Structure formats: C-alpha cells, structure tokens
Amino acid sequence: MDKANERISTLAEYIGIIKKYNLHNGYFRGENQRYPNISSSLIREYISKGENFGLVDIYADLLRAYYQEVGYELDKMQGENFLAFSQHHGLKTNLIDFTTAPLVALYFACERDKYDVDNGYVYILNEEDTVEASEFLRAYSIREHLCHNVFSQLAWNRPDIVTEFRDLLEKYTGLLSGKNPYDLVKRMAKQICDYPQFKKSNLYLKEREALLKKGIDGISEIPQLVKKYLPNFDVLGGMGIMEFTALFLLFLMI
C-alpha cells in the first residue's frame, strides 16, 4: 500500500483493507491521535534543556539508572536485548513499536482512556520496504545497558560500521531486491537540497549534476568525485549503493 489513505468505521472494513492490499505480512502501528510524524515517545516529548545536554545524554542516563535497578535480575537474553526489555516495561526509549498483528495495532488506535480525540490511525509498512537490521543494531547500537548512537558512528566514518551499513543496503536494494538504489540517491538529494545550510552536501550535488550532464563519461567520474569529498571512502561495489552511502555520510557530517 504505497501512501494510500483509507478511512474505516467498522472492524469488517478494516479486515477488508488488509485483504484488499494483501497486507497479511505487513508491519502495523496503531496511534490513538495524529502526531506530526511517527516517532518514539522519548523523542516526541523531548524538550531541549540547552546545547550542552541533549537527548542522547538524557537517554543514556535513563538506561543506566534503570539498569542499576534491575540489571542483577536479568537473564542473558534480557541483558543482551536490554533496550527492548526497557521498552516493554514502560521506559521511554528511541524504539518505535510495530506489530505483525493488525488487530493489536487497531486496539492501540482505538484506545481512548487518556485522549479526547475522535480518530485513531493505523500505519502499515510492507515487509518488502524493510530490511532485517537486528544484528547490525545489536552489534553497533544496543550493547547491554549502554546507548551507542549508530548514526553518530556512521558520521565518524568507522570502516567496519560503514561496511555493515552498505551490506544492509545491498540486502534492501541490491540486484536481487528488484529495487533501484538510485531511488534512494534521489530521495536523499531532495532532502539535502531543501536545506541550503548543508553546504558540503549541496556542493557535492552541484558537481554531481554537472557530471551527469556529460553522460556516460561523467557518470564514470562519480567515484573520483566521492573520493574528493571523502578521501578515505571505499568506492568499490555497486555504484548506486556506494553513492547513497557517501551522500548519507556527507549529510551526517553536519
């Protein structure tokens, strides 16, 4: 279901939508009011307390304090997945809950005890629009009771994490996926162009556009352009995934 909106008022209509779009293997999220975007409760309710003490600091402190209380009671699986354990027990985290059960999502969309609103919302992701990243996150972001911002680590251009990130992209939009990796490049480019303050990223895109006007010869020069902006970046591999990763790293440097 690609950006389709359907309004339903009965359970039968909801089940009909699942069947109509063949969403049995989708991922569902229910929200009992409309928010500006889908985000975790931690981020949604965050109010900045000054430039020297941001969300990551608050988040890490919450996890550490909770781990000190319950860590001695955890078994191996709970310790290795402490972030998910915390989310399940009501701690605000940066995780966003989805479910494979459409009726569970509908329940949360219809829950009205605390909110004076008329409408609930169910958001649905197609399985093919996602990639399994649990091991990647467990290795680089979720380590026992600590918080490691995976995007900060990407911005530092750590070779191991960049390689693993590119492997995830290969699974998501590589040759066997049926997707075009340059669709990701186009979306990323649009995001960057909307923010002229991202000067380095926009300079890259300006030079890239000039190369594309040269045709095949210009396209073959894109790896050299990437090396100009990211001297230590590995330009080997599929061009689309390579360029998206490079553009993403330039964006994160801001």
Question: How does pLDDT run across 47-87, given as a tens digit for each residue?
Answer: 655 554 566 667 777 777 888 888 888 888 887 777 788 88
Closest to 29 in 3D by CA, of 89, 59, 37, 7: 37
Closest to 67 in 3D by CA, of 142, 151, 157: 142
Residue 72 DSSP symbol: G
Neighbour tally for 43: CB within 10 Å: 14
215: left (phi over 0), alpha (psi -120 to 50) or beta: left
pLDDT digits (tens, 9 = 90+) for 131-172: 988 888 777 765 544 556 677 778 888 888 899 999 999 999
226 with 243: CB under 8 angstroms? yes
54: its two tokens:
């941001």
**Which region among 19-33, 43-57, 158-172, 236-250 has the lowest average model confidence (pLDDT)?**
43-57
How far, CA to CA in Å, does 92 sit from each of 44, 53, 99?
10, 18, 18
Answer whether 0.85 is exceeded by the pTM.
Answer: no
37 with 29: CB under 8 angstroms? no
